[in-house]
Amino acid sequence: MNSKLADKMATGVFVLIALIFISLLTALFSYILMRGLPVISWDFLTEASSVVREGGGIRDQLFNSFYILFVTLVITVPLGVAGGIYLAEYAKPGKITNFIRTCIEMLASLPSIVVGMFGLLLFVNLTGWGYSIIGGALALTMFNIPVMVRVTEDAIRSVPADQKQASLALGMTKWHTIKTVILPSAFPGILTGTILASGRIFGEAAALLFTVGLSTPELDYTNWNPFAETSPLNLFRPAETLAVHIWAVNTNGIMPDVTEIAAGASAVLVLSILLFNLLARFVGKIIEQKLTANKK
């Protein structure tokens, strides 16, 4: 077989694989959207869900998903970024660093249902909080810290070495160099990584089943005091998220329009995650352009 033919065949195989992927993805998306989009309406998004009657919405679930995402990020980003800085700039290569890295990788690959069970033991039972937003956020933190550490470390390592050199050669200390040169340069990478990780947090169900629970108390959206019992901001209340809701109505929903609700909620979930991804690309591109404007 001559090399030209081999080259053509290789190209063909890769194009074929790409096509299979694209068609799978399109099929999946159009299935979810075709079933879900007709259900989505302003009422669907702003009505509370109903346990038995027809026509319930997903208002609380949608809010819970975003709120848990927010709380998780507040905990994860500072810790993850700090860990990433440590691994990229301070950790000396050796056994201890390798051990830390292995631990982080293990954490990242833990099945989320296991994290959920662990969260149940620790954040629900041991702390006595019961099902709570903070418990769920901490469970999500456990497998998102590794992602953030990795994202930060990669972003820092991809900062051109000569910029770091320039700063050190000007007499800057290491910490000052990290603060004023490395982190600003690594920022777009960290930001896009965070947004992508957000998509995963947003769609997570298994880890939340046993930590934030399957119900949401009656919420009063005019009460923004986070310590009030009925406030949506209360960290110590149970909070069913969108992904959990989809699972719950599918397994034991008794309302007559179960399929519609599940389809609509799935479509909202998928669209939100799609939005996160597009946002990540868009923001990343804009910042990158700002930072590296026409490198001729």
Partner 1 sequence: MTTAALKQETVFDINEMNLWYDQFHALKDITFPIHKKEVTAIIGPSGCGKSTFIKSLNLMASRIPGVKMTGDITFNHQNIIINKPNLVDLRKKVGMIFQKGNPFPQSIFENVAYGPKIHGIRNKKRLQEMVEDSLKKTALWDEVKDRLNVNAFDLSGGQQQRLCIARAIATNPDVILFDEPTSALDPVSANKIEELILNLKQNYTIVIVTHNMQQAARISDKTAFFLHGRMIEHGDTNQLFSNPKNKETEEYITGRFG
With CB under 8 A as the contact rule, which of the stretches 140-148, 156-164, 204-212, 215-223 interacts with partner 1? 156-164
With CB under 8 A as the contact rule, which of the stretches 38-46, 170-178, 208-216, 276-284 interacts with partner 1? 170-178
Residues 6+ apart with CB under 8 A from 65: 202, 241, 242, 243, 269, 272
Nearer to partner 1, 4 or 295 (CB): 295
Contact pick of 65, 72, 132, 185 for partner 1 (by CB under 8 A): 185
Work out whether 292 is an interface residue with partner 1 (CB under 8 A): yes
Work out whether 165 is an interface residue with partner 1 (CB under 8 A): yes
Contact pick of 163, 215, 231, 277 for partner 1 (by CB under 8 A): 163
With CB under 8 A as the contact rule, which of the stretches 111-119, 139-147, 173-181, 216-224 interacts with partner 1? 173-181
Contact pick of 12, 78, 184, 256 for partner 1 (by CB under 8 A): 184
| Residue numbers 246-265 binding partner 1 by CB under 8 A | none
Work out whether 171 is an interface residue with partner 1 (CB under 8 A): yes
- Nearest alpha carbon to residue 58 among 230, 275, 223, 239: 239
Nearer to partner 1, 52 or 293 (CB): 293
| Distance separating alpha carbons of residues 99 and 150, to the nearest angstrom | 15
- Long-range contacts from 31-39, C-beta under 8 angstroms, 24+ separation: 32/263, 32/266, 32/267, 32/270, 33/267, 33/270, 33/271, 35/263, 35/266, 35/267, 36/263, 36/264, 36/265, 36/266, 36/267, 36/268, 36/270, 37/267, 39/260, 39/261, 39/263, 39/264, 39/267
CA 115-59-66 angle, to 5 degrees, is: 45
Work out whether 95 is an interface residue with partner 1 (CB under 8 A): no
Contact pick of 39, 181, 196, 268 for partner 1 (by CB under 8 A): 181
| Distance separating alpha carbons of residues 155 and 146, to the nearest angstrom | 14
| Distance separating alpha carbons of residues 95 and 42, to the nearest angstrom | 56
Nearer to partner 1, 128 or 171 (CB): 171
Contact pick of 167, 198, 216, 241 for partner 1 (by CB under 8 A): 167
With CB under 8 A as the contact rule, which of the stretches 49-57, 74-82, 139-147, 178-186 interacts with partner 1? 178-186
Work out whether 90 is an interface residue with partner 1 (CB under 8 A): no
- Which positions lie near partner 1, rule CB under 8 A? 160, 162-163, 165-173, 176, 180-181, 184-185, 290-296
